Chain A
Amino acid sequence: MSTTPETAAAAAPAETDTAGHGDISVGVKTSGGSGEATASATRITPGNALRPEDIALAVSRGTAKPSDDVAEFALRLGDDALILAQRLGHWISRAPELEEDIALGNIALDELGHARSFLSYAGGLDGRSEDDLAYFRREHEFRSVELFEQPNGDFAVTIARQFVVSYYQFELYRRLTSSTDATLAGIAAKAAKEVDYHRDHSAQWVLRLAHGTEESRQRMIHGFKVIWPYTDELFRDDELTGRLSEAGVAPQPSSLRADFDRLTGEVLAEAELEAPNVQPAPGGGRRGLHSEHLGYILAEMQVLAREYPGASW
């Protein structure tokens, strides 16, 4: 996380930066005078959006401080996104086509960005950094639900998981944009746009695999059968979500279900598929109870930071 070159480059000037996004354009030529022989055919600009670094900065300055409940909620969403990013990252160099490799890598990086924002904010409660939270917590301290740690399987299983995740996340983030917590609303506003594209990406593939060959259709059906038991846990309310809902911070998970069912149902109908009628998995991720997969993911994700604390490259 903070050890990646992109972050390292952006972090250095942040100490003196008071205007917000002035540091991101380092190394990016924006003058773009016409007729430069060496100019790229297309013009690169950094754009302007809320970045994880902005949140970390706001937290360190004390201008953004989560309550206990909000921090716990941010931890849940951050862990969901972090574990999925780690899963998707495994596809890099292994996707069916080079173009799809990059598409999945882009989605993984979007999710990692959301994770960094949510975890940076969650850490504001007790001064822990995003890296402290990602690399130095143990399995039972993670708050992600089981869906996100499910193995990639074949491409169809990954698409089935991504389809469920993106439709769920879009409904959640869309509502979070009107949260009474300004930082959560800001993170969600940026994330919703990205997740909207993830919906399109996975829906496109659901349709193609379902209407492709007999083999691809069978694999898509199998993918949904494997993934669907884990959808139920996404929509379970508990005491925390009840309190957050009353405070106008976040919607009750159960309130997302109708829109999720309707919108995923439209795509499944077009694909001539049905949501599998399966028994929901018991779940428990929000309380730190995980399937057998999470420990292995964490071992791989955390080993370098733990073996070489403070490592950077």
Chain B
Amino acid sequence: MTTPEPHAGNVWPIWEVFVRSSRGLSHVHAGSLHAPDAAMALRNARDLYTRRNEGVSIWVVPADAIASSDPDSKGSFFESPQGKDYRHATYYTKSEGVKHL
């Protein structure tokens, strides 16, 4: 048998895994894994993330296909809605005589 080539550093890409449990809710992020393509990513996800009967459906998404919010923009992105009570229904008092509210 021939000696294998030294590791060329070609690492499999990363995929993000989403699993839907049998409760019939939405898919939730379970973790990530390496795989050479989508077909193998699904199988690896099955082996890694549904070993304990966790799911009835799996999505895999190439990690670099996910655009994520910038952690440094936490203030402008996620803190500015704080204190804006008027965006919540409970801010308003029910007008008299209005039904079905």
A-side residues, CB < 8 A to B, are: 41-47, 97-100, 102-103, 106, 154, 197, 200-201, 204, 208, 215, 222
Contact = CB atoms under 8 A, between A and B. Distances in A.
Given A41-B29, A208-B36, A215-B5, A46 B43 contact: no
8 smallest CB-CB distances across A and B, nearest first, come from A42-B54, A99-B44, A47-B53, A44-B52, A103-B47, A45-B53, A43-B21, A41-B28
A99 B35 contact: yes
Interface residues of B, number: 29
A42 B48 contact: no
A44 B43 contact: no
Contacts of A106: 47, 51
B65 interface: no
A102 B43 CA distance: 11
A99 B39 contact: no
B30 A42 contact: yes
Contacts of B78: none
B62 to A, nearest CB: 15
A227 to B, nearest CB: 15
B61 to A, nearest CB: 15
Interface of B: 1-2, 4-5, 12, 19, 21-23, 28-30, 33-36, 39-40, 43-44, 46-49, 51-55
A44 B36 contact: no
Contact of A44 (B5, B40, B47, B53): B53
B43 A201 contact: yes
Contacts of A103: 43-44, 47
Nearest to B19: A42
A99 B51 CA distance: 13
B22 A99 contact: no
B52 A99 contact: no
7 contacts: A42-B55, A46-B53, A47-B53, A99-B47, A102-B44, A106-B47, A106-B51
Main secondary structure of the interface of A (DSSP, over half): helix
Nearest to A109: B51
Contacts of A204: 39-40, 43
A201 B47 CA distance: 10
B86 to A, nearest CB: 26
Contacts of B46: 197
A99 B33 contact: yes
Nearest to B40: A204
Contacts of B49: 42
Given A42-B21, A154-B1, A204-B39, A102 B30 contact: no
A204 B54 CA distance: 24
A117 B49 CA distance: 25
A41 B21 CA distance: 10
A43 B48 contact: no
A45 B33 contact: no
A154 B1 CA distance: 10
Contacts of B28: 41-42
A97 B34 contact: yes
Given A97-B34, A204-B40, A102 B53 contact: no
A47 B52 CA distance: 8
A284 B48 CA distance: 38
A110 B28 CA distance: 27
A99 B30 contact: no
B48 A99 contact: yes
A265 B22 CA distance: 36
Nearest to B5: A215
A216 to B, nearest CB: 10
Contacts of A222: 1
Contacts of B36: 208
A47 B12 CA distance: 33
Contacts of A100: 44
A98 B48 CA distance: 10
